[in-house]
Structure 1
Amino acid sequence: MVGNNSVNDVLLQQPVNDRVIIVQILVIIFLCINMLLIVIFIKKECFHTSARYILFFVTLLSDSVLLLVSDVLLILTNFEFTMQVWLCITISGVVFLYFIVTPVTLTAMTLERYVAICMPLRHGQLCSTRSTMYCILIIHLLSSGPCIIILSMFFASASLNFYKQSMICSVEAFTLYRWQDHVRSAVYQFYFLIMGITIAYSYVQIMKVAKAASGEKKKLTHKGRKTVILHGFQLLLCLIQLWRPFIETPLLQIDFSLFRNVRFFNYIMFNIAPRCLSPLIYGLRDRKISLVLKNLMPTSSCSK
C-alpha cells in the first residue's frame, strides 16, 4: 500500500490549530477577490467578446472551485468527518479535474498572446468568441485525461466491499498501491512538460517579434512577454506540487515537527499561491479591469 495513507493517519491525530485558521483566512480573501472579478466580468459586456478575458474568467472559476473544494476537504479531514466512498469519488473527481484546468487554460491564454503579437492579422479569426467556446470545451476534455486515468486505476484495484465503506476523504485515498502513485505523477509531469514547452516556444517567438518591433507594437510585445513569464512561473509552482510527496514522506520518518512545517509551507506555496496569481497577472495588471475597479458604480463602462 502507498505511504500517503499513513501520512494522512498521522495528520488526523492533530487538532485544529492556528495554521488551519491561517489557511481559512487566505482562502476567504482570495475567493472574495475572485468573486469580485467574476462579477465584473459578468456585468461588463465588453469582456464577453474578448478571448483573453473569457479564458481569464474560466481560470477564475477553476481556481475558485479548486480552492473551495480542497479547503472543504482540509476541514473535513481535520474533524475526521467520514463520508460514503461514492461521494468521496465525486468530490475528488472535481479536484483532479480542476487541478489541471487552470494550467491548461494558462497555456491557452499564452497561445492567445502569441497569436495576438506574432500573428495579428489572424487574431480576429483564430480567437473569435465562437473559437474560444470550442477552446474551453477542448480545455476541459484535455483536463479530464488525468482524472479518468487515476479513477480507472482505482476502480480496477479496489474491491467491491471497499465501495460500501465510509472513509475520510482525501485524494490520496485513491492511490492504493505505489505504482498508481508513480503513474499519476508520470501523467501529470507529461502534461506539464507539454505545457511548459508551449509556453517557452511562445516566449521565444514573442521575443523575436519584440526585437523587430517599435513604438506601440514594442509596448504590446513587452507586456505580452511579461505575461508569458508570469504564466511560466505559475505553471512551475503547479508542477512543483507534484513533487511534494517525494519531499514530505521521507521527512515524516526523520522529524514529525519538521514534516508538519514543510507540509504547511508546501500547501501555501504550491497549492494556494498558484491559484491566487491569476487575479494579479490578468486582473489588477489589466488596464480595463483596473479602470472598472476604480469606478464600481453601476454606470461605469470599459475603456476602449
Structure 2
Amino acid sequence: MANNTSTVGEFVAQQPRYRVIIVQVLVIAFFLINMSLIVTFFKKKSFHTSTRYLLFALMLLSDSFLLVMSDILLVLTAFEVVMQVWLCIIVSIAVFLYNMVTPITLTAMTLERYVAICMPLRHAELCSTRSTMHCILIIHGISSIPCIVILSMFFASVSLSIFKQNMVCSVEMFILYKWHNDLRSALGQSFFLIMCIVMFFSYYKIMRVAKAASGENKKSTLKGLKTVILHGFQLLLCLFQLWCSFIETASLQVSISFFISVRYTNYIVFTLAPRCLSPLIYGLRDETFFLALKKLWVS
C-alpha cells in the first residue's frame, strides 16, 4: 500500500502544471454546455415522457458529475494534496459508478433506437416512462458492479488501520496485487465485449430495415441509422477507456514521464472527449431539442 502511494506521488510530482490548466479550460467549457442542455430538458415538459430524452438527461447529469469529480481529483493530485483513505473511498465510489453509467446508458439508447425502428408497434409499450425509470435503476445497478468488485478486493486485502491514513487519492491505491489489476481488466473487457455485441447487433438490424424501407420511412430509418453510428463512435471512445489500464501498465515499464503523458492523453481522449460528444450529437443534431435550446437562449 505504501509503495502504491509513493509511486502515485512520483507521478503527480512530475505532472506539468500547464496540462492541468488545459484540462480546467476543457472541463469548464464542457460543463457549461452540459448545464445549458440540462436546463433545456427540465424547462420543456414534453421531454420528461420520452425515453430517448430521459436517457439523454441521465447521461448529461452523469457526465457533468463525473467531469467535476474527476477534475477535483486531478487538481488535488497535481498539487499533491492528501486525504484520509475513508474519504477517498467515498469519492472513488461515485467516480467508479458514474464512469460506467455513460457507456451503459449509450447502450440502452442504442437499444431504444433499435426498438423504435425495428419494432415500431411495440415501442410505446417497451419504452414507456415507467419502463424508462426501471431501465435507469438497472443502468445504475449494472454500473455498480466494477465498483463493488474493486472495493471488495481492497477491503479484503487491508487492515482497518489503513482507513485513517492520509494518502494521495488515486485508482492505484485500490490495486494492491497483480491479480487485482488482472481481475479489474478482465471485468472491463467483459463489459467491452457485451456492449460491442449489442451495438453491432442493433446496427445490423437497423441497416436491414433501412434497405427494405422506402420513401419517408427510409429517410427516418436512415436518420436512426446515423444516430446509432454516432452512438457507436461515442460508445467506442468510452469503452476504449476500459483498455487504458493495459496501455498505462505497459507505458510504466518505459518511464514515469512517459506514463504521465499516456495517462494525460487517455484522460483527454477517452474521458473528456466522449463527455462532450453527447451535447453535439443530441443537443445540436436533434431538431426538437435544438429548437427548445434556441428558444431558451433567445428568450
Aligned to 2:133: 133
CA displacement 1:249-301 (0-9 Å, x = unmatched): 443443444443333222110111111111111211100111122222687xx
Task: Please tell me whether residue 65 in structure 1 is matched to residue 65 in structure 2.
Answer: yes
Distance 1:192 1:247, change over 3 A: closer
Give me the whole-angstrom Cα distance separating, in 2, the residues matched to 1:293 and 1:122. Answer: 30
**Code of the aligned partner of 1:206:** I
**Aligned counterparts of 1:175 and 1:255: Cα–Cα separation in 2:** 20
| Structure 2 segments unaligned to the other structure (5+ residues) | none
| Offset from partner CA, 1:49-101 (integer Å, 9 cap, x none) | 11000000000011111111010000011111111111111100011101111
* Structural mapping, 1:256-271, within 5 Å: 256-271=256-271
Matched-pair contact (CA < 8 Å) for 1:66–1:95: yes
Provide the residue aligned with 1:164 in structure 2: 164
Measured in 2, the distance between the counterparts of 1:77 and 1:21 equals 14
**Structure 1 segment 88-167 matched on structure 2, within 5 A:** 88-167=88-167
State yes or no: 1:217 paired with 2:210: no
8 Å contact kept, 2:83–2:166 = yes
Asked if 2 retains the 8 angstrom alpha-carbon contact of 1:203 and 1:228, the reply is yes
My pick for the range that moved more, 122-131 or 216-225, is 216-225
Q: Is the 8 A contact 2:34 2:64 kept in 1?
A: yes
SS at match of 1:296: helix
Check the 8 A contact 1:118/1:206 in 2, yes or no. Answer: yes
CA distance in 1, matches of 2:245, 2:6: 12
| Maintained 8 Å contact 1:2/1:177 | no
Write out per-residue CA displacement over residues 179-200 of structure 1, whole angstroms, 9 at most, x where no aligned residue. 1111111112111211111111
| Cα separation, partners in 2 of 1:249 and 1:16, compared to 1, 3 Å | same
- Where does structure 1 differ by over 4 angstroms across 4 or more consecutive aligned residues? 1-7
Counterparts in 2 of 1:208 and 1:145: CA distance versus 1, 3 Å: same
Q: If the length of structure 2 is used for normalisation, what is the TM-score?
A: 0.94
Structure 1 gaps, min length 5: 300-304
8 Å Cα contact 1:4-1:249 kept in structure 2: no
* Aligned counterparts of 1:251 and 1:112: Cα–Cα separation in 2: 39
- Structure 1 window deviating more from structure 2 (243-252 vs 75-84): it is 243-252
Q: Counterparts of 2:178 and 2:5 in 1: how far apart (Å)? A: 11
Q: Take 1:85 and 1:32, find their aligned partners in 2: how far apart are those partners?
A: 31
Q: Aligned partners of 2:184 and 2:226: how far apart in 1?
A: 32
1:302 maps to none
Equivalent residues of 2:12, 2:77 under 8 A apart: yes
Do the aligned partners of 2:9 and 2:168 also contact (CA within 8 Å) in 1?
no
- Residue 82 (1) aligns with residue 82 (2): yes
More displaced stretch, 284-293 vs 239-248: 239-248
The alignment's C-alpha RMSD in Å is: 1.9
Separation in structure 2 between the aligned mates of residue 167 and residue 261 of structure 1, nearest angstrom: 23
Greater fraction helix: 2
Deviations 1:206-264 (A, max 9, x none): 00100011112111111111111122122211222222233234434434444433332
Task: Tell me: CA distance 1:255–1:142, structure 2 relative to 1, closer, same or farther (3 Å).
Answer: closer
Q: TM-score, normalised by structure 1?
A: 0.93
Q: Which amino acid aligns with 2:31?
A: L
Asked whether the equivalents of residues 7 and 249 of structure 1 are also in contact (C-alpha less than 8 Å), the reply is no
**1:9 Cα deviation after fit:** 2.5
Letter in 1 for 2:162: F
Distance in structure 2 (CA, Å) of the matches to 1:6 and 1:203: 46
C-alpha distance in structure 2 between counterparts of 1:215 and 1:280, whole Å:
28
Aligned equivalent of 1:207: 207
2:246 corresponds in structure 1 to 246
- Cα gap change, 1:3/1:209 in structure 2, threshold over 3 Å: closer, same or farther? farther
Larger mean Cα displacement after TM superposition, 48-57 or 226-235? 226-235
User: Do 1:83 and 1:169's aligned partners in 2 also have CA atoms closer than 8 Å?
Assistant: yes
Q: 2:9: which partner in 1?
A: 9
Whole-angstrom distance in 2 between the partners of 1:108 and 1:6: 40
Q: 1:161 Cα shift?
A: 1.8
